[in-house]
Amino acid sequence: MKIILAKTAGFCFGVNRAVNRLDTMIKSHTNQEIPIYSYGPVIHNPQVVNRFKDQGIIIINSLDELEAHPPGKILIRSHGISEVELTKLQNKGFTIIDSTCPYVKKIHNIVEKESLEGHSILIIGDENHPEVKGIAGWAKGDVTIIKEPDEIDSLEFNPNITYTVVAQTTFNIEKYKLILKKLQKKSIRVIINETVCQATVERQTEALELAKKVTKMIVIGGKNSSNTQKLYEICKSQCKDTYYIETIEELELNVFKDSDIIGITAGASTPKNIIEEVISNVRNAKF
């Protein structure tokens, strides 16, 4: 058996930064009367989130929940939040530890600036993803969210205005290119900002190439992790025996053989220890 681990597997820069900041907040927390919050789960990984809950971190999932909690320190996760949410947190007296990924913050700035100049904003991404919701919340005018290439056909565009395009940092790069190709065929003025994170591009490209040359593929990550779901879709397109797991407990080891070449990749919210545990169990399995 041969196991090949993708070089890009595991925490990305933004996730690592947010997790480290929350760890630092816990270690430096001397006044137990002041609670520590995370605005949404710090990452899309249940094991990490539960560890922080056990350490006393309170997760706030919406502005409505704020009413039931006293002000304290609150971490803004790497996905970022809308301007309305940020303002309300400030007005409620929360001490904000802003861990919005710098690449996401850059998109917020583009959307705010370009919309103030009268541009209509096109966001390529999943409207239900917290990052996309946050991005849309910085626009001062019209916003349209596009997830699938076919959606371009049903949209009505105004040839008299300028459209500024941004993308969710973790969006599927191939689908992103297809959407841009369709947009550029329209008789409209479009300003394209390349905002898909380079780390995402590298991770997806590596997963694609790895899946082509293995007999089986394992994708590790939270089931609610958008970037992990995309990795699974990419790998599955090249390797039919692709397994999507959150932890080693979900993996049926009897599907593997001594003759297998096994590729392993992991989403941006997958801790190193979970990846190592999967590798160890697969390597030491008895066939």
The burial of 246, by beta-carbon neighbours within 10 Å (0-12 exposed, 13-18 middle, 19 or more buried), is given as buried
d(Cα 220, Cα 244) in Å, to the nearest integer? 6
The burial of 286, by beta-carbon neighbours within 10 Å (0-12 exposed, 13-18 middle, 19 or more buried), is given as exposed
Q: Calculate ∠ Cα 22-248-211, nearest 5°.
A: 95
**For residue 173, what are its two tokens?**
């790069």
Chain Cα centroid distance, residue 43: 8
User: Is residue 117 among the annotated active site residues?
Assistant: no
Radius of gyration of the chain, Cα coordinates, nearest whole angstrom? 21
In the set 67, 112, 117, 131, the catalytic residue is 131
d(Cα 272, Cα 263) in Å, to the nearest integer? 16
Nearest one of 215, 214, 219, 276 to 251, comparing CA atoms = 219
221's CB contacts (< 8 A; 6+ apart) are 44, 45, 227, 228, 229, 231, 244, 246, 266, 267, 268, 269, 270
Q: Which residues are catalytic?
A: 131
